[in-house]
Amino acid sequence: MWRDSFRLQIFCLLLAILAIVVLVHNFLQLEHLDDATVSGSNWITANNDRQTLSRTTGIARKLYCGYERQRLSKREQAEEESLLAALLWPKPPDDEIPFIQSTDPAHSDFVIVKPGVLFKVGDQLEVLVRMKDFRGKPKQYGGDYLQARIHSPLLKAGAVGKVVDCHNGFYKVFFTLLWPGEVKVSVSLVHPSEAIQVLLRLREERPDRVYFKSSFKSGRFSETTECNVCLPGDLPVCNFTDLYTGEPWFCYKPRKLSCASRISHAKGGYQKGLLTQEESLFFQSDVNIKMPIFPSGPDAVTVKPKAFADSSAMDIAEDPNVSPSGYYYQDQWRPRTRRIHHFNESEDVTKCLQGKVIHLFGDSTIRQWFEYLTAFVPDLVEFNLGSPKNVGPFMAVDLKRNILLRFRCHGPPIRFTTVFSSELRYIANELNGIVGGRNTVIAITIWSHFSTFPVEVYIRRLRNIRRSIIQLLDRSPRTVIVIRTANVQELGPEVSLFNSDWYSYQLDSVMRKMFSGIAVHFVDAWEMSLAHHLPHNLHPNEIIVKNQIDAFLSYVCPLQT
């Protein structure tokens, strides 16, 4: 009996020792895990050597992100393939072009085709651009990214041109002459073709070049880990994929805290050392980033008024795909597809918005609309929700006229300083919670924070938003929905790697195609920022925002014809 009891005690003691050993081992493993999590991760790891080719670029892409493994219907698959095919960009003949053979805007020039012709309002103006390298030799291939506009400084008038790549070092630019007087031509090289190939590589190989973090807290304990659309390696992760949209989002699991203890999301920072020394030469301020190309002859033409035409109706076209979509005259935007009302008095705005609920969803460029309206309309008073500055959500009310204005940022990825986890909402889900109707107005913009990811990530986000829009319009067809497009911005060597106009242009092209054919309206912020005489800015000047608001409100309260 005593022996049996002794054996039992020995057995229990051995179990206890074994349990302690296992506990210590797990603790040491946890310590090691914490060190790896806090220091951040390397996206290109030895465990992730398998690759696939991007359908957009042919560039090798790591498999861990699953961009190629979305479950799509046949229709969605066909649409995605069509969208990606439309984005294909001309490549240089060789993978590695020396800097001296790359495009030099200083040696390049443009000429106005038939500058002596008598031009009238409504005529087409053609410009031929000839690209040369730093040796002064003509380029034999295309792929440069150009921006072009016509303008009349004294009239504060401007419009964008359509650039056509001839794939042989020449580019044609077509302008529609939309106002009388002296009209000047401006052409700029945004990026040489050699730089575009670097941007393509970064988009496919380094979607981590902007990284994110989340804070976890429980009582007096707190931890911070790295987050992104996808995370490599075998470290444990918290899966924050949205249950309704399937939008993926992951964070490395904290060492001691649970995934449920996440309290905030924030931008972590920007990766450095992304370029080789040779590649960095393609991204130089005052050399080959947004540099003017000068004319080799006249840079202006004189445009005569169109005879026997009603000037008030002359700029209205029937084609909804007309290019350009509009132009500035006396600093006022004039769309070519519809009439616009200029809301120059705050009373005009309140009269238009009376009895309405306005939802603004997106990034800081549509937050500018909230800031403009609350500053311009005295009775539209912001209600303090205790939200972080520049992050939101924000709300303003006019109790007398029954106006409610809301702003909410879109879900991750978003590069804001700190967003409470409880406020991370996907636009599609927010739209599903809106009843809609004739007194409901919705404005959406989403583009800038997706520029570092392969295009499939953006397509998936738009697909979810579009599905929710269609469902909302099906149950409440009188709901007004407006899409604000992307806009151009100031670029330097570093910004170009994360938010180049070329990235924005590609995403904007996808957005316009995906939302065409459904009952939404567009505010063409792209042309409105490019055609204006003010310097480019991610957050356009107030006069440009004012014109955006005029275009927006003209959809809410269209002029009676």
DSSP code per residue over 400-455? TTTEEEEEEEPSSS---S-EEGGG---HHHHHHT----TTEEEEE---GGGTTS-H
Residue 70: what pLDDT?
74
- Spell out the SS3 assignment of 479-528: CEEEEECCCCCCCCHHHHHHHCHHHHHHHHHHHHHHHCCCCCEEECHHHH
Place of tokens 């912020």: 525
Token readout for 278 is 């040779």
What is the Cα–Cα distance from 51 to 204, expressed in whole angstroms? 11
Distance CA 538, CA 522 (A): 19
Nearest Cα residue to 100 out of 357, 287, 266, 249: 287
CATH superfamily of 99-197+283-307: Immunoglobulins (2.60.40.10)
Helix axes 542-556, 364-376, angle to 10 degrees: 80
Q: Strand 262-270 relative to strand 291-295: parallel, antiparallel, unpaired?
A: unpaired
Cis before 388 (ω within 30):
no
Annotate 328-356 with DSSP letters as a single string: EETTEEEESSS------SHHHHHHHHTT-
Tokens of 518: 């459904």
Closest to 159 in 3D by CA, of 297, 323, 343? 323
SS3 call for 549: helix
Q: Over its length of 561 residues, how does the chain's per-residue pLDDT go in tens digits?
A: 445 555 656 655 566 665 554 444 443 333 333 333 333 333 333 334 445 556 555 655 555 566 656 788 999 999 999 999 999 999 999 989 999 999 999 999 999 999 989 999 999 999 999 999 999 999 999 999 999 999 999 999 999 999 999 999 999 999 999 999 999 999 999 999 999 999 999 999 999 999 999 999 999 999 999 999 988 888 999 999 999 999 999 999 999 999 999 999 999 999 999 999 999 999 999 999 999 999 999 999 999 998 754 444 444 543 456 789 999 999 999 999 889 999 999 999 999 999 999 999 999 999 999 999 999 999 999 998 888 888 889 999 999 999 999 999 999 999 998 999 999 999 999 999 999 999 999 999 999 999 999 999 999 999 999 999 999 999 999 999 999 999 999 999 999 999 999 999 999 999 999 999 999 999 999 999 999 999 999 999 999 999 999 999 999 999 875
What is the H or E stretch that residue 286 is in? none
DSSP bridge pairs for 125: 175
Q: Determine the Cα angle at 528 with ends 118 and 348, to 5°.
A: 110
pLDDT at 174: 98
Element (H, E) at 304: strand 300-304
Q: How far does the chain reach from its first CA to its final CA, in angstroms?
A: 105
- Give me the pLDDT at residue 507, please: 98
Tokens for 57, please give them: 């670029």
Residue written as tokens 């393609």? 282
**pTM attached to this predicted model:** 0.88
Q: Smallest Cα–Cα separation from 107: which of 128, 127, 129, 131?
A: 131
Contacts of 468 (CB under 8 A, 6+ apart): 427, 428, 429, 431, 432
* CATH fold of 325-556: Rossmann fold (3.40.50)
Residue 154 token pair: 């004294």
What pLDDT score was predicted for residue 168? 97
Specify the 3-state DSSP secondary structure of 288: coil
Nearest to 213 by CA among 43, 362, 410, 40: 40
Query: Distance (Å, rounded) from C-alpha 328 to C-alpha 311?
Result: 15
Do the beta carbons of residue 84 and residue 455 sit within 8 Å?
A: yes
Distance CA 472, CA 451 (A): 28
Q: Max Cα separation, the chain?
A: 121
| Separation CA 36–CA 42 (nearest Å) | 10
Q: Which residues contact 512 (CB under 8 A, 6 or more apart)?
A: 485, 522
The pLDDT value recorded for residue 385 is 87
pLDDT of residue 480: 98
Distance of CA 540 to the CA centre of its chain: 14
Give the domain ranges of the chain.
99-197+283-307, 210-258, 325-556
Residues in Cβ contact with 466 at an 8 Å cutoff, skipping those fewer than 6 apart? 514, 515, 518
Cα–Cα distance measured from residue 495 to residue 283, given in angstroms and rounded to the nearest whole number = 10
Question: At what angle are helices 501-515 and 74-86 packed, to 10 degrees?
Answer: 140
